Amino acid sequence: MTGRNQLIESLQNQLGLKEFDIELDGENCTVKTARPLLYPQPPNLGERTAIWNDISVARQLTQAFLRDHLDLEADAGFTISLLRRTEAEAQSVAQSNESIEGHVYRMRIEPAESRRGRIESAQATYEYGRALSKICVVFEFGVLPSSAVRFIRKRRNFSDFMEFQIEPPSAIVSKISDWNYKYRSGENDRLIDGVRADHVPALTVVRFVLSALPISAPAHREFSLRFEQYLDPRSEFDLGFDRNFSEVEILQDGARTVLGQIS
């Protein structure tokens, strides 16, 4: 399918745009806008807010593009096994967004078909230029039919996640050392676009990691997280860095759930 309903809804309702242009070419998509794409209500992360914004906008648009392209049912779900944001110097002004066209965002999806003949995973790439930098965000998504989503929730004893309220509203963070933190997620930390999720979303994990990094730590050229298991909002978890703040690990109930690289 080559529709654009979800993309239009994301640009209008989630990102608040009124004027934009969408060009579709198979598994490639170009979005042109008069102003830069900004995700609403960003956390206060100082200079690192741009990293969170890039990942947030990229997740919103690539998932919308995938839903349109694959004609997914409304209650089909995505998992994120990997996200990686890189920033490099643009080789030319043409690679930046300083042009009379306004702001240009490019997406490419690479669905992977299983032996059963359905799409079970996809890689999505989102690129744009900012000033003299080229930003690239890559996701590796799992694509789940609604039956699989229900099965996983039942297996995790969380079928009632929409009725289950977590206290307190915001996360409780305990600093164990300069490199280690303990978290208890709040109700607001598991929301995706204002809707309750049955896990701690990737964007919340990105926010937790970026906010825990000291100002002196690097976090501009490459930021990646690999999600190995669901992060359950009902249980505490531990977030720890190595001494150089170049690696991050999240443990919950003794099992590693997230592993990250930062440079």
Q: Are residues 144 and 185 located together in one domain of the fold?
A: no
Residue 115: pLDDT over 70 = no
| Rounded Cα–Cα distance for residues 47 and 27 (Å) | 33
Which CATH number belongs to the domain containing residue 115 in this structure?
3.10.129
Q: Are residues 19 and 59 located together in one domain of the fold?
A: yes
User: Exposed, middle or buried, 163 (CB in 10 Å: 0-12/13-18/19+)?
Assistant: exposed
Q: Are residues 114 and 182 located together in one domain of the fold?
A: no
In tens, the pLDDT along 219-231 reads 678 999 999 999 9
* Structural domain boundaries, residue 225: 156-262
CB 33 within 8 A of CB 17: yes
Q: Which of 148, 173, 208 is the last residue of a domain?
A: 148
Integer-rounded Cα Rg, in Å, for the chain is 19
In tens, the pLDDT along 43-58 reads 999 989 999 999 999 9
Across 72-77, average pLDDT: 84
Q: Which of 121, 148, 175 is the last residue of a domain?
A: 148
| Rounded Cα–Cα distance for residues 262 and 246 (Å) | 5
Any idea which residue has 């000291």 for tokens? 214
In tens, the pLDDT along 147-170 reads 999 999 999 999 999 999 998 999
Residue 97: pLDDT over 80 = no
Neighbours of 78 (CB within 10 A): 20
Q: Are residues 47 and 130 located together in one domain of the fold?
A: yes
Which CATH number belongs to the domain containing residue 227 in this structure?
3.10.129.10
| Rounded Cα–Cα distance for residues 78 and 83 (Å) | 13
Give the total number of structural domains in the chain.
Answer: 2
Q: At 96, phi and psi to the nearest 5?
A: -95, 175
Q: Which of 88, 119, 148 is the last residue of a domain?
A: 148
Read off the pTM: 0.92
Across 103-112, average pLDDT: 95
